[in-house]
Chain A
């Protein structure tokens, strides 16, 4: 009897079912919004339950497994296999949370409401599927499934050069994932493998496998896909464009969960399945990390568009994930553990922080009709709730102790310092730059004299307050009691460090 608990399958496909329901059954805009909201609320509760039920102290690494044979042919045998471990459980929670936030953030969408919510829900299914699938082909299906919704969401509901940005996003991501597909196939055809089972590969890694295509080449095929998605310099250029032109909710999902797919892939597949190759290439990770962190931060400082500023800061912050991965350069369980846990933690914290930042920027743009920083000013007096939320997110983003950003940053720096002291030192300077651009942005947009035309704008309405409060509580809560997430991530990282030091 194949194991099938069905919880994860339910969490993944509930949004899709909602999308189908909206497509065929709903006519009125208010009904559509209500369906989308209740579906994502259900998914949030479900992912919360999954996170709570997940037992990080269990000897069973992968839990809640759903498995049955999907299809088989002479060429490939594919299993439908889902399951979570300590690495994916918090990311499932994050996806549930941000899916709900995204629907609330789109409450005021009035253009082609039906299609919009259909695509948002399909996107939610795709991302949830990426974090839960444990079969390479299934993983790839969900990875690619996210392209079409994103293309439509940016090119129809976006602003500015939306069509260009949407196409750029698709081209970059698709090229990256195309290489990933070759990597998956090249791994599969090795006589020792002949399956797509990610559990077996996660437990044994590719060490000792007789491979027809060189392992290092397969490693790079995978890595290219993930680096584009993360993104890292020099393949980051799609990100500012996509972010700037996307509607608010899509920016939230893009920064909050879609970028995390890249980080998740690096931790799960690159580090978890190619431990030796990762150790050999730790230097490359470190260099990519410091370039992304510093160059990203320098680019951020000179941005004058609020959204573009946060987009570039994402490039810089995702560099920290790579720095955490680079900690494998020094073979020691504790340092590696800290670095990798920090990297995974950074995925979660940056997910919540950037979501809150994009949400507040979206609200400000909604009211002020501009995101050009020099045109703003003194907003904290007229819209204190929005400004306050933005300040919480900003402070967390620059790594203020007591907020969630601090936890991941300190873990990453602790982990990587022993292996790459100079690079880590330089990267810490990136945090100083972050303080610079965040505080300077506050000063120019939120403080100072209130401009005349902003004196009448209204603060967040009740429905807009829900996501603000939800995200702010998460950020502060994790800052105060990080163990609730860190312990889970650690339970997922421990088997990986065990492989690395074997």
Chain B
């Protein structure tokens, strides 16, 4: 490891240092309520370092910087995802100030665990070698298990145990798949795998060999757990309902984005020559995820479970971006799928955070997360209700919100690569989803019970609430601020 390596992973290093600093501070500083703000301001360091790396990439001739013997790649693609993870972390930390007051005695561990998990995600999106990838994934998952069970009540512990077991299974699948891929190609480096795969692509067998086919499917299954795609979605509703909610919000945005980043990198870089073969796998996963997610969401009575199924459905929409590869129609223009997906992920990130923050605030206020108890929130908690409405309208995919633009882009990519049927299924699913999202909005606004109450929300959560909602709308009105960056990031993946 030389000085250049340290520079390349400086955002991760600074994040770990921040976590360690917090652990030390916990011993000496009694005013725990300031910790989230320490983290929030501390996060600017990795963010600035990431931006510096991005500007370095603009100057360099090559599109990527590799370090640690080629195990990690720093390119625009990975920096884009690192910024998503850091942004989500910042907002979630602001929101968790209320939660930390509840668990005074162990609040010192909460934030460092979040930081370590985020570090794992940041390494994950940079990994270009299977072992590094696996280790980063475990670094992401293990702190999350502890965090989900942090409330230490029955529901929370059950959720943590479920998450532990299912993560274990998915890691096992992933590892087995990786072993097969390694056995087939003789290397754990994605670029080497790519050249071996390409040399055997035309042997008549799908993926060139059955071992590779099985390996690929197992790797896909492992990550399908992480992105909560059907049929690997069973853990989602229970953990969303029972887990520590700010952690779940973080999980649903950052962890999902990181998993999508890995999927994109593994499949575009490692198996790029087989894109026509795996794109159909993604198309089928996508179709099942959005349809099942939306249909089951219709009958939910708990707001957090509803968001859980909604996140499954949105994993389906996002998979369209992976299924939309270029060469199905003609090879003369590059696929717009990854670029659209990257934009969508950011739009979905702020939207889902806005929705989660609002649900957290409302359910704290009324001590219930049943949708029918949200009655009259339009008056009792106007700010929270407005943010939740903004989030839900964005989740439906109506203007003027980020997901509206993201959906148009994703569906265009799908039709562009010959998957018109998938786009039609996507739009019909959006219509279905309007039914259950609007039901929540209706309950909050239509009945006029209760008097106007003073807003008791504290500054941190309120700030996160407003910031995420504003970003949802800004992305819907000025998508141009992100589309260029997202496309530049996606371009580094495409040949």
Contacts and interface: CB of A to CB of B under 8 A. Distances in A.
B334 A178 contact: no
Nearest to B329: A212
Contact of A74 (B329, B339, B404, B438): B339
B439 to A, nearest CB: 8
A166 B420 CA distance: 30
Given A71-B478, A71-B480, A213-B420, A185 B408 contact: yes
Contacts of A148: 393, 398
Nearest to B413: A75
B487 interface: yes
B141 interface: no
A74 B427 CA distance: 21
B399 A71 contact: no
A464 B118 CA distance: 62
Contact of A76 (B399, B409, B438): B409
B484 A73 contact: yes
Nearest to B396: A174
B343 interface: yes
B340 A74 contact: yes
A156 B399 contact: no
B479 interface: yes
A51 to B, nearest CB: 27
A155 interface: yes
B237 to A, nearest CB: 24
A144 interface: yes
B431 interface: yes
Nearest to B443: A163
A188 B412 contact: yes
B168 interface: no
B196 interface: no
A382 B399 CA distance: 47
Nearest to A213: B420
Nearest to A217: B420
Interface in A152-187: 152, 155-156, 163, 166-167, 170-171, 174-175, 178-179, 181-182, 185-186
B415 interface: yes
B483 interface: yes
Contacts of B492: none
Given A73-B487, A167-B438, A141 B399 contact: yes
Interface in B397-448: 398-400, 404-405, 408-413, 415-416, 418, 420, 423-424, 427-428, 430-431, 434-435, 438, 441-442, 445-446, 448
> Helix, strand, loop or mixed for chain B's interface?
helix
A502 interface: no
Interface residues of A, number: 39
Interface string B463-495: 000000000000000111001101100110000
B102 to A, nearest CB: 34
B415 A156 contact: no
B229 to A, nearest CB: 22
A97 B340 CA distance: 41
A174 B431 contact: yes
Contact of B431 (A111, A175, A186): A175
Contacts of B334: 74
B336 interface: yes
A167 B435 CA distance: 7
A433 to B, nearest CB: 35
Contacts of A140: 408
A156 B334 CA distance: 48
A76 B408 contact: yes
A156 B445 contact: yes
Contacts of B416: 75, 189
Contact of A137 (B408, B415, B441, B445): B408
A167 to B, nearest CB: 7
Contact of B409 (A73, A112, A167, A171): A73
Interface in A99-143: 111-112, 137, 140-142
B454 to A, nearest CB: 17
Among A75, A76, A112, A179, find the residue whose CB has the most chain B CB atoms closer than 10 A: A75
Nearest to A189: B416
A188 B409 CA distance: 12
Contacts of A73: 336, 339-340, 343, 409, 479, 483-484, 486-487
A75 B412 CA distance: 6
Nearest to B340: A75
A59 interface: no
Contacts of B479: 71, 73
Contacts of B445: 152, 155-156
B483 to A, nearest CB: 4
A72 B336 CA distance: 12
B447 to A, nearest CB: 9
Nearest to A187: B415
Given A145-B400, A189-B415, A182 B339 contact: no
A74 B398 contact: no
A186 B427 CA distance: 13
Contacts of A155: 442, 445-446
Nearest to A181: B427
A129 to B, nearest CB: 10
B434 A185 contact: no
B475 to A, nearest CB: 10
Contact of A141 (B330, B400, B427, B490): B400
15 contacts: A71-B480, A72-B484, A73-B409, A73-B479, A74-B334, A74-B483, A75-B412, A76-B409, A142-B399, A174-B434, A175-B428, A175-B431, A181-B408, A186-B415, A186-B420
Interface of A: 70-76, 111-112, 137, 140-142, 144-145, 147-148, 151-152, 155-156, 163, 166-167, 170-171, 174-175, 178-179, 181-182, 185-186, 188-189, 191, 212-213
Nearest 9 Cβ contacts at the A-B interface: A71-B480, A178-B427, A73-B483, A75-B336, A74-B339, A74-B336, A75-B409, A141-B399, A74-B487
Given A76-B412, A155-B442, 6 more contacts: A73-B409, A76-B408, A140-B408, A145-B399, A156-B445, A182-B423
